[in-house]
């Protein structure tokens, strides 16, 4: 996504710390950061290569995302972004540095690359953080997957197309609008409604206990949809 590269006015407001600009950037990049911090990624530190396996618990993912944005939205980090490279790459660099800092403070465990399993057919380590799961986790994952299957089956064709485009395939709002022959406004509006319906659907079935329908609840929900189901990581 090249949001800040294309929009000079938004980039200027962002660098000045304008609250509306910060909110716009957060909404545009939060989902990708959720995915990154859940799926995991490779890291190089002091000449050694490691793999961060991602967080399994949604509350840990959300906490990490918030910490990364706190760093990214600091005055020094805002001013350091010049608009010559995609902000997504800049944000990913900050996320990697955050994980490295936690690793050095012994608050995060990284797996040396030489201990990684063989890569899959796509040349990645997609199943890494699910290696050797315990039977209880497998059962819970299957139950969750079954519930999401039922929810997706209840969607209309138009809603299912949106779900597939945004949550399974990870297309941008702009790309999704083109694919579905609609506007970006409607994509955002319908996506918000879809998230709300899914939250209520799952809550009626015993999930999200203790959560309210708020931004924090939605953030956890987005993480579940994008990573647990959309990326096919529920066994």
Task: Decide if 139 contacts 133 (C-beta within 8 A).
Answer: no
Task: Tell me if 123 is assigned to some domain.
Answer: no
How many Å apart are CA 41 and CA 34, to the nearest integer? Answer: 12
* pLDDT exceeds cutoff 90 at 157: yes
User: Does the reported pTM lie above 0.75?
Assistant: no
How many Å apart are CA 52 and CA 99, to the nearest integer? Answer: 8
* pLDDT exceeds cutoff 90 at 186: yes
Q: What pLDDT, on a 0 to 100 scale, did the predictor assign at position 229?
A: 59
pLDDT mean over 52-73 = 86
Confidence of residue 89 (pLDDT cuts 50, 70, 90): confident
Same-domain status, 151 and 110: no
Task: Decide if 100 contacts 92 (C-beta within 8 A).
Answer: no
Strands (E), 1-124: 41-45, 48-52, 111-112
Confidence of residue 16 (pLDDT cuts 50, 70, 90): very high
- Is the Cα torsion angle 233, 163, 55, 110 positive or negative in sign? positive
Same-domain status, 68 and 151: no
How many Å apart are CA 226 and CA 82, to the nearest integer? Answer: 30
Could you tell me what percent of the chain has a pLDDT over 90? 24
Same-domain status, 66 and 7: yes
Q: What is the CATH number of the domain that holds 156?
A: 1.10.10
Residue-wise pLDDT tens digits, 105-153: 877 777 765 544 443 333 333 443 444 444 444 555 667 677 788 888 9
pLDDT mean over 173-180 = 90
Same-domain status, 111 and 143: no
pLDDT mean over 13-26 = 91
Q: What is the CATH number of the domain that holds 72?
A: 1.10.1740
Q: What pLDDT, on a 0 to 100 scale, did the predictor assign at position 221?
A: 53
Residue-wise pLDDT tens digits, 220-235: 554 455 445 555 554 4
Same-domain status, 212 and 137: yes
Of residues 234 and 24, which shows the higher confidence score? Answer: 24
Task: Tell me if 128 is assigned to some domain.
Answer: no
Task: Tell me if 124 is assigned to some domain.
Answer: no
Same-domain status, 159 and 110: no
How many Å apart are CA 101 and CA 62, to the nearest integer? Answer: 18
Of residues 58 and 220, which shows the higher confidence score? Answer: 58
**Measured torsion, CA atoms of residues 151, 156, 157, 158, in degrees rounded to the nearest 10:** -110
> Which run of H or E residues covers position 196?
helix 184-204
Give the CA distances from residue 197 to residues 35, 117, 148, in Å, rounded to whole numbers and listed in that order: 21, 38, 12
* pLDDT exceeds cutoff 80 at 189: yes
Confidence of residue 75 (pLDDT cuts 50, 70, 90): very high
How many domains does the structure of the chain reveal? 2
Q: Hey, which residues does 111 pair with through a beta bridge? A: 51
* pLDDT exceeds cutoff 50 at 161: yes
> Which run of H or E residues covers position 32?
helix 19-39
- Lowest mean pLDDT: which of 7-16, 148-157, 180-189, 225-234? 225-234
Same-domain status, 22 and 97: yes
Tell me the residue range of the domain where 28 lies.
3-115
Same-domain status, 141 and 188: yes
3-state SS, residue 24 = helix
């Amino acid at each position: 996504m090249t949001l800040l590269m294309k929009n000079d006015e938004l980039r200027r407001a962002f660098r000045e710390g304008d609250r509306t600009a910060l909110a716009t950037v957060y909404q545009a990049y939060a989902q990708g950061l959720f995915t990154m911090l859940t799926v995991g990624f490779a890291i190089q530190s002091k000449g050694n290569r490691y793999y961060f396996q991602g967080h399994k618990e949604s509350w840990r993912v959300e906490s990490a995302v918030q910490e990364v944005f706190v760093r990214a939205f600091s005055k020094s980090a805002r001013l350091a972004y010049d608009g010559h490279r995609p902000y997504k790459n800049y944000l990913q660099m900050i996320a990697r540095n955050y994980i490295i800092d936690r690793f050095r403070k012994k608050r995060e465990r990284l797996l040396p690359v030489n201990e990684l399993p063989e890569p899959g057919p796509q040349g990645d380590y997609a199943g890494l953080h699910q290696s050797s799961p315990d039977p209880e986790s497998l059962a819970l994952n299957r139950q969750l997957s079954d519930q999401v299957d039922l929810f997706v089956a209840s969607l209309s064709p138009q809603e299912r197309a949106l779900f597939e485009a945004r949550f399974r395939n990870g297309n941008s709002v702009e790309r999704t609008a083109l694919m579905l022959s609609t506007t970006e406004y409607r994509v955002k509006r319908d996506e918000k409604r879809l998230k709300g319906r899914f939250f209520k659907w799952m809550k009626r079935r015993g999930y999200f206990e203790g959560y309210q329908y708020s931004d924090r609840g939605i953030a956890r929900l987005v993480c579940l949809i994008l990573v647990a189901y959309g990326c096919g990581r529920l066994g």
